[in-house]
Amino acid sequence: MPSDMISDIIRKKIIRRFTGEKEINFRNNIPHDDLIATNIQEISKIGLYLHIPFCNRICPYCPYNKEIYSDDTAHKYIKAVIKEVEKYAGLMAGKSISSFYIGGGTPTTLLGKGLEDILDAIYKHFNMECYIHIESHPNHLSNENLYALKALGVKYLSIGIEALQDRHLKMLERPYNTYEVKKIVERAAGKNFECLNIDYIFDLPGQTIAEVEQATYEMIKLGIDQAATYPLFRFPYTRFGKEVTQKRNVVKTMFRRRKFLKVIEDIFYGSGFERSSVWAFTQKGTKKYCSVTVPSYLGLGASGGSYLNDIFYVNTFKVAEYIQSIENESSPIALSVNLSEKAQMAGWLYWRIYETIFRKSDFKQRFNRSFDKEFGIYTKQLKRIGFLNNGRDIVRLTDKGTYWLHAFEDFFSIDYINKLWGTLKTNPWSENVIL
Ligand SMILES: C[S@@+](CC[C@H](N)C(=O)[O-])C[C@H]1O[C@@H](n2cnc3c(N)ncnc32)[C@H](O)[C@@H]1O
Ligand code: SF4
């Protein structure tokens, strides 16, 4: 039997065990506004996600939803997002928003070009009780733009530096060199953001341990507060994914990545950083830059996803379709799924493992059930093999547990992203997607 089929069968078995369902079936059902409003009101802490699907050029490895920036499309997009904000304003009914993340694509493509108008609408219509987290591209971070970001209320800034050696930047087709990107990060570090994060990719073709070691020391010298260090994932629908002809040895890849990550981990720990998620290290005492891990959120823009208690839904990916649906006063939602309580609990655990530390009392508060009763059998076993410390309330993953549990999670995430995003990228109004 081909290995892809075996993987699918294993995934389905695990899904059934944890969620009680045969499969996760996304359909083109649009949740009714009343249901969305009721769910929003039932949530105590809700986050806001805004997707900006534009980049000045497309990187060959990137799985995110984006297209090349154009003034005309951006202008229409901004108008559409503002209309979407106004629509949600009624459904939010004064609910306060406790976290705000602007991701992409490259959100800073819209800096000075209308991002401000979207933010004005958001701050006018929503009760924002939080600061802004935003992703940016190194080439957008002139002094002027950094001050503009601060003036907008950005306190948490992330820069995709990707690599700190010219040969790797070239291979990734990034439009800057090591010298330039270091100057840019230093400039941003001098602006006193609450948390300055950089994204760095390792396990690149031909990369040596010595190179990763050197790059990690360099990152720390630049004055950053946090680094998110990801191995290079190859999503089949990206150019890099398509270029992989040989089947790679999954186990070998996992052990190689573990070796790289161990080097990165040791250097960060030795320099006053602590782990803040599976891949991220934050300077002790700094509030972390965080992206996707709030338990409930509302998503705006093309491919914006919303997770509201028992419903998850996602907007159409294609920018033109998103704009048109909003202009026509129809819903931009492409697919949705209803989640049973068991599936919600499994999803909760999935994201808390990603964060590497969580409280059982938060689980109790969210589901009114005992964490130990639902998952105690697993935490006990995982403690026995040294994957986590299982306290009365706090569960903390060990470094060993962090790595291997996440490798296990990747077995799902990469496949799900491929199926859901891959399908919605080619068919903006797909009838259903089964995970
Ligand atoms: C939305 S982008 C960041 C902002 C900005 N667009 C940029 O490129 O600088 C998010 C980050 O995800 C990471 N990323 C993208 N594709 C990846 C892949 N295939 N494997 C690992 N990390 C990846 C990169 O570090 C990238 O900077
Ligand atoms: S990595 Fe950043 S700049 Fe490159 S395509 Fe992805 S979102 Fe755009």
Task: Check if 106 has its Cβ closer than 6 Å to any atom of ligand 1.
Answer: yes
* Lookup result for tokens 């903390």: 396
- Look at residue 1 in the predicted model and tell me its pLDDT: 52
CB 187 within 8 A of CB 225: no
From 172, 291, 300, select the one nearest 226 (Cα to Cα): 291
Task: Check if 211 has its Cβ closer than 6 Å to any atom of ligand 1.
Answer: no
Task: Check if 204 has its Cβ closer than 6 Å to any atom of ligand 1.
Answer: no
User: Counting ligands in written order, which one lies closest to the CA of residue 138?
Assistant: 1
Please give the model's pTM, rounded to 2 decimal places: 0.93
Give per-residue burial for 266-279: e unless 16+ CB within 10 Å, then b: ebbeeeebebbbbb
DSSP string, 354-422: HHTEEEHHHHHHHHSS-HHHHHHHHHHHHHHTTSEEE-SSEEEE-HHHHHHHHHHHHHHHHHHHHHHHH
DSSP letter for 44, please: S
Instruction: Summarize pLDDT for 63-101 with one digit per residue, the tens.
Output: 999 999 999 999 999 999 999 999 999 898 888 999 999
- Residue 152 alpha carbon to ligand 1 centre in Å: 23
373: tokens are 């009763």
Calpha distance 210→260 (Å, rounded): 10
From 124, 121, 40, 35, select the one nearest 83 (Cα to Cα): 121
% of the chain surpassing 90 pLDDT: 67
- Angle between helix axes 33-42 and 71-92 (nearest 10 degrees) is 70
Confidence of residue 13 (pLDDT cuts 50, 70, 90): confident
Strand order in the sheet with 388-390: 357-359, 394-397, 388-390
Q: How many helices (H) and strands (E) does the chain have?
A: 15, 20
Indicate which residue's Cα is closest to atom 15 of ligand 1. 62
Calpha distance 39→16 (Å, rounded): 25
Calpha distance 295→71 (Å, rounded): 35
Task: Check if 106 has its Cβ closer than 6 Å to any atom of ligand 2.
Answer: yes
- Look at residue 355 in the predicted model and tell me its pLDDT: 84
Indicate which residue's Cα is closest to atom 3 of ligand 1. 160
What mean pLDDT comes out for the span 103-125? 97
Task: Check if 69 has its Cβ closer than 6 Å to any atom of ligand 2.
Answer: no
Helix intervals (H) in 157-233: 166-171, 178-189, 209-221
Instruction: Summarize pLDDT for 309-323 with one digit per residue, the tens.
Output: 889 999 999 999 999
More confident call, 176 vs 17 = 176
Task: Check if 299 has its Cβ closer than 6 Å to any atom of ligand 2.
Answer: no
